[in-house]
Amino acid sequence: MSFPEGFLWGGATAANQCEGAYNEGGRGLANVDITPHGKNRFKVMLGLDNTLDFHEGEYYPAKVGIDMYHHFKEDIALFGEMGFKVYRMSIAWSRIFPNGDEETPNEEGLKFYEDLFKECHKYGIEPLVTITHFDCPIHLIKKYGGWKNRKLVGFYENLCRVLFTRYKGLVKYWLTFNEINMILHAPFMGAGLLIENKETEMKDKYQAIHHELVASALATKIAHEIDPNNMVGCMLAAGNTYPYTCKPEDVWKAMEKDREGYFFIDVQARGQYPNYALKKMKREDTMPAMEEGDLELLKNNTVDFVSFSYYSSKVASTEEMAPTTEGNVFASVKNPYLSASEWGWQIDPLGLRITLNSIYDRYQKPLFIVENGLGAKDVIEEDGAINDDYRIEYIREHIKAMHDAIEIDGVELLGYTTWGCIDLVSASTGEMSKRYGFIYVDRDDEGNGTLERRKKKSFDWYKEVISSNGESLE
């Protein structure tokens, strides 16, 4: 049961969840920095807190993260020991342009990532870089209102030109926006949007969506012009939606829920707005303003591959009383046939194969799974061991599912990066106790701990998976 030659095995993180050093190296303040741990986290993520600063008495986990800013050589050495072929990470926009709208970038920030990329290559690891993983400089939110303002397309273009030029030869794989469909669910995180007027909320969201889609196409165009070897992908928070019953209304509801996410990738991968989306926006009066040349830009600059995160499938029902669960920030009807994690995320390995087939059938472009993993509470035994067999089992079953998608179904899959290959701050809850990594980091939900790194049982298991190219899974 081996995988294709050259398959890219690795792991994934995001700057705002692991990097820390929020006020070092000339970095500016970003939306992700002021998202607290605790009961107010979702209020901020949803754009319902317009303070745009730190609150007294709140704990902000992104300020330190796991301090990868000062530990990246140690961390990448551990990734190299596991045999990573690829490491998915992200750029903190405000580390390159502290306010976001400067003409000249911050050299100290550029040098940090240059050193990090060179460290990856030292171990034969290809960086897969997300240009924007929920990061938006606070200045761009205060002055321009976030991505609903067209000016952000130009500021993002400036960021991309700097990155593609500076890191030519160091970075080949790029993603434009992380989980771009998150705008609909957590607009402050997804697009720096504050919900100040409920009547215009959806129109503002779709305007921001259009600007990000245009920016993504522009980034793809520039990347190919600067270096024809660049491969640019889009990124979707995925997971097929099942109908709760075979009642046609439930089937239709499930299709509608899937279209909410596919809409974004339809534009990025096919190059045009799908008719169902155009009809919906016209019907609901959410059609965004477009500039001359936007549609041509989208048409001529589609992505090279489609990447996505997969944690669970979802279920849709027309019955209001259907039991619900939470998965990421996406609410879903509970699937009675699936078990769940400690945080209620339902576990569905076959759903990954279903999702892979759905996306590949739809776009016929190479795919890349850039997030998949299990958040769990890990225990350090008396002898210092961390026996995370539950994580091994979860990843093993998902690897088997993606192997079947490749070998039996013919899906073209470039690689697989597990989420949180090293423990980091949870995006949805701000917790450290919700651990995903093969590497344990000594830090708790209140910010206490030594930040010491420690290998879990899954570390050596995944090392063997990679060295055998997926043949050894036991």
- Angle among Cα 375, 176, 372 to the nearest 5 degrees reads 20
| Structure tokens given for 278 | 């155009």
Could you tell me which of 147, 138, 127 has the C-alpha nearest to residue 93?
A: 138
Could you tell me which of 178, 198, 181 has the C-alpha nearest to residue 48?
A: 198
- List the end-to-end C-alpha distance of the chain, in Å, as a whole number: 12
Sign (positive/negative) of CA torsion 464, 470, 471, 474? Answer: positive
**Within 10 Å of residue 219's Cβ, how many Cβ atoms?**
27
Could you tell me which of 345, 375, 360, 350 has the C-alpha nearest to residue 445?
A: 375
Distance CA 343, CA 296 (A): 44
Q: Which residues contact 408 (CB under 8 A, 6 or more apart)?
A: none
β strands within 61-111, DSSP E: 86-90
Are 144 and 135 contacting, i.e. CB atoms less than 8 angstroms apart?
no
Does 102 participate in catalysis according to the annotation? Answer: no
Distance CA 31, CA 15 (A): 13
**Within 10 Å of residue 466's Cβ, how many Cβ atoms?**
18
Helix or strand (DSSP H, E) at 233: strand 231-238
Distance CA 63, CA 66 (A): 9
Could you tell me which of 345, 328, 344, 314 has the C-alpha nearest to residue 244?
A: 314
Three-class secondary structure of residue 210 per DSSP: helix
Q: Which of 371, 381, 412, 471 is catalytic?
A: 371
Could you tell me which of 397, 395, 377, 379 has the C-alpha nearest to residue 387?
A: 379
DSSP annotation of 375: -
Alpha-helical regions (H) of 364-445: 389-407
Distance CA 270, CA 298 (A): 9
Checking DSSP bridges between strand 324-327 and strand 330-333, what pairing results, if any?
Answer: antiparallel
Q: Which residues contact 254 (CB under 8 A, 6 or more apart)?
A: 241, 242, 243, 315, 316
Could you tell me which of 299, 373, 301 has the C-alpha nearest to residue 343?
A: 373
The set of catalytic residues is 371
